[in-house]
Chain A
Amino acid sequence: MSEASLERAYRRMLAWYPRGFQAEQGDEMLGVLMASAREGQRRPTRSGPPDPGHLSYPSTPGGIRAPSVAQTHPDTGGPGGHADHDRRRAGQRRPAGGQRGGGHHRGDVRADSGGHAGRPGGLPAHRAGRRGRGPRAVRAGRRGQPTGNDERGRAEIRGADRGHALPGPRAGPRAVRPGPAGLGGVRRPAAGPGHVHRARGGPAGADRHSLGPRPDAGVPDRSGRPHVRHRLGAAGRS
């Protein structure tokens, strides 16, 4: 019973992979996932130590990247992220699939990570586009784990640019965007004049990218001027 439900969960996660990979290695990988499961395990978990974060060898200068250290996108499931935005729209208080809320929950999404995270095998975050079926991918790293390796992220993206066929779901254009500082993405300047990013159409506090202190309307910033929502503003944003 529990095994069947676990297998169903893994099959749902495997649906994130390209069809070619599913056809070629899906059953085999499912066998490994099931063999790796604990006794009585009913659903994929996200527990366990991280695996090596970066796989490469001389013949692939850019290297291939292990999925364990996800990065590249601020959607962490925490407040202000895309997942949070989606939850709010759906009236959910907490993310589905056992994912905990909280601003620092950078889900290291792996094969046996759970539910809402939903990317089998800990897909590299940049491979997890939002097209296709299944929940929105949660990109990010393990809570408390330093993931700020910009070079690694760039190497990964370079690898993708070279057409390295990493198994994983198709990447959407947003998936290759670097995440905020601390998530392994490209570090941007701290929030200050001209560096306020806010969800389009969202409330003032709903910073999709959470690039620094959350701006509160009317609170003076470092320059002493009152914070102006969207300094890039209507005129500056396309």
Chain B
Amino acid sequence: MTQRAMQEATFLILTALAAGSQHGYGIITDVKEISGDRVRLRAGTLYTALDRLRADGLIAVDREEVVENRLRRYYRLTPDGSDLLAVEAARLRANADAAPRRLNLAGGTT
């Protein structure tokens, strides 16, 4: 059985953390920016994903802060998370490269 592809939201969350640690709201805004305002994570979605990613060792808590009496927890990619993101990025790139190549072979114009 083939491995399942990483879903876009997961990919975007990991990508948001690739440049450095982020807190929850920062991840949401970063995902929105990375996706060109196409993907807007909800808090529940985000924490469901973070919970799973933490359990699988792909992200970890980097530090905690209290800002305006609210807890902010910063997350970072683990080495495993970085590796998985790199693999997934390569897979997506290969797929993305294949499409125009095939289109050119077929002489297709769009």
Contacts and interface: CB of A to CB of B under 8 A. Distances in A.
Nearest to A119: B44
Interface stretch (B50-58, B92-100, B102-110): B50-58
Given A52-B39, A66-B48, A30 B9 contact: no
A75 interface: no
Interface stretch (A56-64, A98-106, A213-221, A225-233): A56-64
A28 B69 CA distance: 11
Q: How large is the interface on B (under 10, 10 to 19, 20 to 34, 35 or more residues)?
A: 35 or more
Nearest to A48: B40
Interface centre among A28, A33, A56 (most CB of B within 10 A): A28
A159 to B, nearest CB: 9
A40 interface: no
A52 B28 contact: no
B3 A58 contact: yes
A51 B40 contact: yes
Interface stretch (A87-95, A120-128, A129-137, A200-208): A120-128
Given A28-B71, A67-B42, A165 B51 contact: yes
Contact of A121 (B39, B42, B88): B42
B43 A36 contact: yes
A97 interface: no
A102 to B, nearest CB: 23
A112 interface: yes
7 contacts: A28-B70, A32-B28, A51-B40, A55-B9, A57-B88, A66-B45, A66-B48
